[in-house]
Amino acid sequence: MESSVQIVDRPSKAFFLALGLLPLLWACGDDGTGPPVEVELPETGFEQRSGVEFTTHEEELAFLGDVDAASDRIRITEVGTSVLGRPIHLARLAYPQPATDGQIAAGPAILVLGTQHGNEPAGREAALQFLRDLAFAEAAGLPDAMSTATVLVIPTANPDGRFANTRGNAELVDINRDHLALATPEARAIAQVIRDFRPDIVVDAHERPGATTPDLQLLWPRNLNVFAPVQDLSRTLVQDHLFVVLPVGGLSVELYGPGPGPPGDENESILRNAVGLRHALGLLVESSGQQDPLRRVAVHQETMNSVLDFFADRSGEIVAAVTDAPGAKEAAGRDRTAPFYLFGADDNAPTPDQLLDPPPCAYMLSAEQVTALQPQISLFELRTEPDGSDVLLPMDQPMMTVIPLLADGRARGPQVSGVARVSAIECGVP
């Protein structure tokens, strides 16, 4: 299948792997001038063994170091550590080179995550190849999205789980059910990256370990508290773009989750929904874990490249929706004219007892409850206000999208049980 990243008419990686040859890269200088120079392309352990075994932790560290040292287009740093102290890396990719972190946060960005579940390795292998190909491809062959956006990659979000080949982390916690509680260092590292870089699109690469078909299942954020234009564009990415372009390359694609209900539901602890609540387009990608490993990795990488194409085609709409979302949600929290949904998805309407209508204007918390919420207050950038001996968590702020989910005892997984302020007198309405 054809990739968005072209390496000057050279054969594809799959071609080289099939022949068992060390792939080489033809690359020009970053100004696109001068004769092409053949250079050795850094390889993952998975590539070196033609897909027979996955890349080891040590091989990943060496690979990332080689790519970082050899290309000006990439900057890789450690953004967190796992339970057992293994590093979680973030790669920043841009042409001709990445901007400062502050400048990246102020501009468009796409974030790709591999292997939240350690026994689902294809996304991690694809992410490693994806960042390498973007770092070394000839300038003229780079995807159009890189003319305006930074590509961010966390290749291994769960390094302990990948090392042990377990779904959860070293404490057997499912990271992809921890994006509200933020109890794990791995989920906190992801939340920190989203806070500090404000990506416009987040791609979350998973596998269904026991599945043989289809090649891919895809889904968007279904939570009803997501800003409607962000949710609509996430759905458009899946239904009107990926469902169209991926089959052209010979891939079979379906919607993830039998629906309505789990696993493809509105659960705010799942990254797919959590990123929507944080005002970014979200995409869950699930390959079939019983297929040939080379194919599984290839379909993930093709999907990542296709997301870059979608951003290039719809960047104006995407940036506008992501930019408008915080202010729109802050206004909704202030005006209290729309309900807040404790449950319910875009394919599964909530019952009346599952929504707050009108929603509270704030939650009153004790000092102990505020202490318990410190990870969320910091990483979700929540504003609190003193109120005598207590503290208010007001709804008139951009991240009101998570406040009742955190602080209302009727929610799915509240971290504290605050006192909802609902009456006109409590909310200061004359």
Which residues partner with 154 through β-bridges? 113
Report pLDDT digits (tens) over 57-114: 999 999 999 999 999 999 999 999 999 999 999 999 999 999 999 999 999 999 999 9
Whether the predicted pLDDT of 335 surpasses 70: yes
- For residue 71, give the 3-state DSSP assignment: coil
Do residues 265 and 402 both lie within one domain?
no
Measured distance CA(132)–CA(2) in Å, rounded: 17
**C-alpha closest to that of 50 among 20, 25, 24, 12:** 20
Q: What is the mean pLDDT of residues 353-372?
A: 97
Residue 345 counted as domain residue: no
Query: Do 107 and 234 share a structural domain?
Result: yes
* Strand, helix or coil for residue 104: helix
Does 167 share its domain with 263?
A: yes
**pLDDT exceeds cutoff 70 at 220:** yes
Element counts in the chain: helices (H) and strands (E): 14, 16
pLDDT at position 258? 85
Same domain, 246 and 376: no
Asked if 360 contacts 395 with a C-beta cutoff of 8 angstroms, the reply is yes
Residue 428 in any domain: the answer is no
- Which of 23-37, 177-191, 295-309 has the least mean pLDDT? 23-37
pLDDT of residue 429: 75
Q: How do residues 185-217 score in pLDDT, each as one tens digit?
A: 999 999 999 999 999 999 999 999 999 999 999
Q: Looking at the structure, do residues 103 and 243 belong to the same domain, yes or no?
A: yes
Considering the domain boundaries, does residue 331 fall inside one?
no
| CA atoms of 238 and 28, how far apart (whole Å) | 34
Q: What mean pLDDT comes out for the span 315-322? A: 98
Same domain, 382 and 301: no
Domain-located, residue 167: yes
Which stretch of 33-42, 133-142, 213-222 has the lowest confidence by average pLDDT? 33-42
The verdict on 236 and 374 lying in the same domain is no
For residue 164, the surrounding DSSP H or E stretch is helix 159-164
In a domain, 195, yes or no: yes
Alpha helices in 253-402 (DSSP H): 271-277, 293-335, 367-372, 374-379
Whether 343 is covered by a domain: the verdict is no
pLDDT tens digit sequence for 244-286: 999 999 999 999 998 899 999 999 999 999 999 999 999 999 9
Give the CATH number for residue 181. 3.40.630.10
Tell me, yes or no, whether 316 and 366 share the same domain: no
Q: Give the C-alpha separation, 93 to 210, whole Å.
A: 33
pLDDT at 32 over 70: no
Helix (H) or strand (E) segment spanning residue 58: helix 57-70
The answer as to whether 7 is a domain residue is: no
51 and 115 share one domain: yes
Q: What percentage of residues in the chain have a pLDDT greater than 70? A: 91
Q: Which residues of 192-230 are buried (b: 16+ CB within 10 A; e: fewer)?
A: bbbeebbbbbbbbbbbbeeeeebbbbbbbbbbbbbbebb
**Boundary of a domain, candidates 325, 350, 371:** 325
pTM, rounded to two decimals: 0.92
Task: Out of 325, 345, 373, pick the residue that ends a domain.
Answer: 325
Q: How many domains does the chain have?
A: 2
Q: Is there a single domain that holds both residue 79 and residue 189?
A: yes
Q: What does the pLDDT read at residue 389?
A: 87
Q: Cα dihedral sign for 176, 177, 179, 181?
A: negative
Is residue 60 assigned to a domain? yes
pLDDT band with cut points at 50, 70 and 90 for residue 151? very high
- Residues 203 and 68 occupy one common structural domain: yes
Lowest-confidence range among 32-36, 44-48, 200-204, 364-368?
Answer: 32-36
Give the structural domain span for 252. 13-325
- Same-domain pairing of 165 and 113: yes
The average pLDDT across 363-384 equals: 97
Q: Are 190 and 375 in contact (CB under 8 A)?
A: no
Mean pLDDT for the chain overall: 92
Cβ-contact 342, 405 below 8 angstroms: yes
